[in-house]
Structure formats: structure tokens, C-alpha cells
């Protein structure tokens, strides 16, 4: 029997995705669940829903609460935090690299490095120079990867991935799927892992 698995849909510009990107690999390993990383762009989906941006950007009072919430949660999880001076910060090229790395073992490390630079250091993450710096720090061939990430074929992969998210009914990030069961939000990560295990047991696994 295959191990239980969880689909992890996230946006590299999303603050709550930051919390899950930094936690999911350890939590999933502890639970014995395999994670399938699914980076996508939430912005185009919000556009199709008629939203002018993340709700807590549009609504000032909600925004003030969210930043307070992020400070608390980063303290709780022991994560670096610096409120970004630009939000949402563009991360299209960084996401193209993540999509390009779909089958690469360095994908989780890439996502953590991008997120830490954005939300831990308040530094931009989308210029070719910034992307190359992160790739080089990970010991990866920066020029080759940046070129491949910007290719027409890979741009299409990201558009298709984002459309797949929309087709699944995703409206926010992070979102998790245990089979067909959807869980939305960083605070549902543990519930989603439990559901993945329960689905495995229901199908007859050990």
C-alpha cells in the first residue's frame, strides 16, 4: 500500500502559507504522511472572484489583526518574523522556479528559503538577482534554473497549475487536500494530516 499523502497548495506571497511551508515537512514526517507540494498563484483566482486583493489588505481593521496574529504565531512556532514593507510582495519568478522544481528534492528547501527571505528578512524575492542569490545559497545552478523557469513551457505550467487550483475550488492559501477533502488555512494543517491517515486506514492500510 502507498503511504498516506496530502496535497499542499500554497502561494509563495501568502503570509499564512509561510507558516505552513515552514512547518509541514516536519509535521508530515512525524505523522508518516507524504506531502505533494503544489505551488500556485492566488492573485489570478482572487481576480476571477471579483476581489480587489487579500481581504485583510482591502479591510484595514482586518489587516491590523492579521499582522498581530502573524507575530503571535511566529513566536509560537519559533519562526523568524519581520512584517513585510510591501504586501503582497511579488513572487512570480520564485513560483515559476517552484513549479519547475516539482520533482526535485530541493523544492521544500527552496520554498522555505524564499519565504524566510520575505517574511523573516523583509527582502524582495522576485528579481532575477534575488532568485539567483537564493539558488546559489542552496548550491544550485542559478543561471540555468532562472533561464528554465522563465521559459514559455514553464510559464504555461504555472498557468495550468493555477487553473487546476481554481478548478478544485481553491479560494485561499494554504489549502490542503486529503483525497477529495479540502482543508483551508494554516490552522488546519494538523487536521488535514489526520484526515490523510484516516483515509489510508479506511482504505485498508495499516
Q: How many domains does the chain have?
A: 1
pTM equals 0.93
Cell 481593521 found at: 61
Q: What is the CATH number of the domain that holds 80?
A: 3.40.30.10
Mind listing the pLDDT tens digit of every residue in the chain (206 residues)?
Answer: 678 999 999 999 999 999 999 999 999 999 999 999 999 999 999 988 886 666 666 677 787 899 999 999 999 999 999 999 999 899 999 999 999 999 999 999 999 999 999 999 999 999 999 999 999 999 999 999 999 999 999 999 999 999 999 999 999 999 999 999 999 999 999 999 999 999 866 555 54
Q: Give the percent of the chain with pLDDT over 90.
A: 84
Set of cell numbers at residue 16: 499564512
> What pLDDT score was predicted for residue 206?
46
- Domain region containing 36: 5-202
Whether residue 81 has a cis bond before it, omega within 30° of 0: no
| Strand extents, DSSP E, the chain | 5-10, 34-39, 175-178, 181-184
**Which residue of the set 3, 14, 20, 203 is catalytic?**
14
> What pLDDT score was predicted for residue 3?
85
The answer to whether the CB of 176 falls within 8 A of the CB of 188 is: yes
Look at the alpha carbons of 178, 183, 184, 185 in this order and tell me if their dihedral is positive or negative: negative
Task: Give the residue from 162, 173, 184, 188 showing the smallest Cα distance to 13.
Answer: 173
Is 14 annotated in the active site? yes
- Dihedral angle over CA of 178, 184, 187, 191, nearest 10: -20
Task: Express each pLDDT in 139-164 by its tens digit.
Answer: 999 999 999 999 999 999 999 999 99
Task: State the angle between helix axes of 142-149 and 92-100 in degrees (0 to 180), rounded to the nearest 10.
Answer: 100
Amino acid at each position: 500500500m502507498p503511504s498516506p499523502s496530502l496535497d499542499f497548495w500554497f502561494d509563495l506571497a501568502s503570509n499564512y502559507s509561510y507558516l505552513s511551508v515552514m512547518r509541514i515537512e516536519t509535521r508530515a514526517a512525524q505523522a508518516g504522511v507524504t506531502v505533494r507540494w503544489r505551488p500556485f498563484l492566488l492573485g489570478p483566482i482572487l481576480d476571477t472572484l471579483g476581489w480587489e486583493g487579500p481581504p485583510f489588505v482591502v479591510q484595514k481593521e482586518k489587516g491590523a489583526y492579521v499582522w498581530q496574529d502573524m507575530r503571535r504565531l511566529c513566536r509560537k512556532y519559533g519562526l523568524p518574523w519581520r512584517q513585510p514593507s510591501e504586501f503582497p510582495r511579488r513572487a512570480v519568478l520564485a513560483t515559476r522556479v517552484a513549479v519547475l522544481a516539482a520533482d526535485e528534492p530541493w523544492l521544500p528547501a527552496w520554498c522555505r528559503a524564499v519565504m524566510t527571505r520575505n517574511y523573516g528578512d523583509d527582502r524582495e524575492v522576485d528579481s532575477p538577482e534575488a532568485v539567483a542569490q537564493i539558488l546559489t545559497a542552496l548550491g544550485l545552478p542559478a543561471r540555468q534554473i532562472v533561464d528554465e523557469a522563465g521559459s514559455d513551457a514553464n510559464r504555461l505550467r504555472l498557468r495550468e497549475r493555477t487553473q487546476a487550483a481554481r478548478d478544485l475550488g481553491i479560494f485561499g492559501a494554504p489549502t490542503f487536500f486529503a483525497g477529495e477533502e479540502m482543508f483551508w488555512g494554516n490552522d488546519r494543517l494538523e487536521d488535514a494530516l489526520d484526515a490523510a491517515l484516516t483515509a489510508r486506514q479506511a482504505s485498508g492500510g495499516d
